[in-house]
Amino acid sequence: MKYLIIGFSAAGANAAETIRRLDPDGEIIVLNGESRSFYLRLDLEGIFQGKPVEQLMPRPPEYWPEKGINVRLDRAVGIDLKKRQVAAQSGGIYGYDRLLIATGARPRKLDVPGCDLAGVFHYHTLDDALAIYDSRARVRHAVIVGGGILGLELAHAVLTFGWKVTILVRGSHAGSPIVDLSGSELVLASLQRAGVGVLFHEQAAAFEGDSRHLCAVRATSGKTLDADLAAICVGVEPDVSFLQDTGLLTDGKLIVDGKMQTAAADVFAAGDAALVRRGEKLVGCNMWNVASAQARVAASNMCGMKAEWREDVLYNLDSLFDQEFALIGPWDDRRLSGRAIHEFRTENAYRALVMRDGVLESALLLGDRTHDRRIRKLITQKARVEEKLDRIFDPDTPPDYFI
């Protein structure tokens, strides 16, 4: 059996290992569109703390050939479903019996003048992080375009270099879409304490400089900011543009079923590139562990097994700037009809619980995630807590009280 995997991040790497475990003799080829071996994208901030690249790699590069997994530094540019072939950027053609599309997400671009100037970066890959880190000695002013989780992470990381940092936020608050305006004061206070400038309702209109390097960022209001470095952090989108002429996309989306299979025979997809159909709902993947779980399901089915991806209660631990948070359950559904949001604030914490018909459905714990395991258990058990909210964060009240 000839297995071909496009992409070598969480989904691609986990799929390759799963296939090798289930089929010791199958041929496995992975097309890696990056210049690096598999690394932990979620640990990019470690680069700015001086962490060696090798410490971001859960497997040394020699691990893959030792397992009979042939990783090619090549990017897929097209698929011929009838011939069961993938065309690569190098001009190579790769045949397959079973195909997994695990290309993940790519950073959104800004279509403004000066994007190609030296000193203008994206912050998405290991090479991006290394390039920004290598610029640290010559930078005094940095402008980060985007106030979401990645923009805030980068701002936090580079402050140790002594840079003056300004963040341009398109909307009314930092930390969107994870935190709403009502809970964003905690994040803004942290940014202000650290001396980070924040301009709301602003976006980059142009990157300005001479023929050699960036000198300034002009905002949509007309304000000009001195800048030796600019980083574009305006979100990501599924990396599926190379599939446009294959018939695999529906309204530009790569949709799979619970077995992670696409509409084409023997073609599967997992991770950020795919959306899983759940009845009338399409479920996206925006977490490392979800991508890994989906990849294991896809790989199992590629090897002839019968596996189904089951959506567990989402549980994501991360930070907005220096404020840790726990995001539990389908938080993205909080604004849908029938939901009620209950907010709790202290000087150092913001907590929001989402109810649906009195049942706890999702939660965001920002600044203090002490009770995250309790909340996760209650969401898993579909606990009816609406009449008991005054005790939900009381450590002396056992979780069984809410069941």
Q: Tens digits of per-residue pLDDT, 186-201?
A: 999 999 999 999 999 9
Number of domains into which the chain is organized: 3
Range of the domain at 361: 315-402
Last residue in a domain, options 302, 325, 357: 302
Does residue 307 belong to any structural domain of this protein?
no
Q: How far is CA 257 from the centre of its chain?
A: 21
Q: How far is CA 390 from the centre of its chain?
A: 34
Last residue in a domain, options 302, 335, 356: 302
**Same domain assignment for residues 98 and 124:** no
What pTM, to 2 d.p., does this model score? 0.93
**Same domain assignment for residues 124 and 229:** yes
Q: How far is CA 395 from the centre of its chain?
A: 33
CA proximity to 259, closest of 193, 321, 305: 305
Q: Check the CA dihedral 83-84-86-92 and report its sign.
A: negative
Predicted confidence at residue 401, as pLDDT, reads 83
Those residues of the chain that have pLDDT short of 70 are none
**Same domain assignment for residues 382 and 351:** yes
Does residue 163 belong to any structural domain of this protein?
yes
Does residue 294 belong to any structural domain of this protein?
yes
For the chain, the three-class secondary structure string (H helix, E strand, C coil) is CEEEEECCCHHHHHHHHHHHHHCCCCEEEEEECCCCCCCCHHHHHHHHHCCCHHHHCCCCCCHHHHCCEEEEECCEEEEECCCCEEEECCCCEEECCEEEECCCEEECCCCCCCCCCCCEEECCCHHHHHHHHHCCCCCCEEEEECCCHHHHHHHHHHHHHCCEEEEEECCCCCCCCCCCHHHCHHHHHHHHHCCCEEEECCCEEEEEECCCCEEEEEECCCCEEECCEEEECCCEEECCHHHCCCCCEECCEEEECCCCECCCCCEEECHHHCEEEECCEEEECCCHHHHHHHHHHHHHHHCCCCCCCCCCCCEEEEEECCEEEEEECCHHHCCCCCEEEEEEEECCEEEEEEEECCEEEEEEEECCCCCHHHHHHHHHCCCECHHHHHHCCCCCCCHHHHC
Does residue 309 belong to any structural domain of this protein?
no
Last residue in a domain, options 302, 326, 341: 302
**Same domain assignment for residues 247 and 291:** yes
Q: Cα angle at 171 between 339 and 281, to 5 degrees? A: 40
**Same domain assignment for residues 130 and 191:** yes
**Same domain assignment for residues 243 and 101:** yes
CA dist 249 → 9, 15, 265 (Å): 21, 22, 14
**Same domain assignment for residues 140 and 80:** no
**Same domain assignment for residues 142 and 289:** no
**Same domain assignment for residues 247 and 260:** yes
Cis peptide before 61 (omega within 30 of 0): no
Question: What is the CATH number for 346?
Answer: 3.30.390.30
Does residue 114 belong to any structural domain of this protein?
no
Does residue 186 belong to any structural domain of this protein?
yes
Does residue 112 belong to any structural domain of this protein?
no
Q: How far is 79 from 183, CA to CA, in rounded Å? A: 45
**Same domain assignment for residues 212 and 251:** no
pLDDT tens digits along 212-229:
899 999 999 999 999 999
Question: What is the CATH number for 186?
Answer: 3.50.50.60
Predicted confidence at residue 390, as pLDDT, reads 86
Predicted confidence at residue 279, as pLDDT, reads 85
Q: Which long-range contacts (CB under 8 A, 24 or more apart) does 85-94 make?
A: 86/4, 86/6, 86/31, 88/31, 89/33, 94/4, 94/29, 94/31
**Same domain assignment for residues 101 and 250:** yes
Does residue 308 belong to any structural domain of this protein?
no
**Same domain assignment for residues 10 and 98:** yes
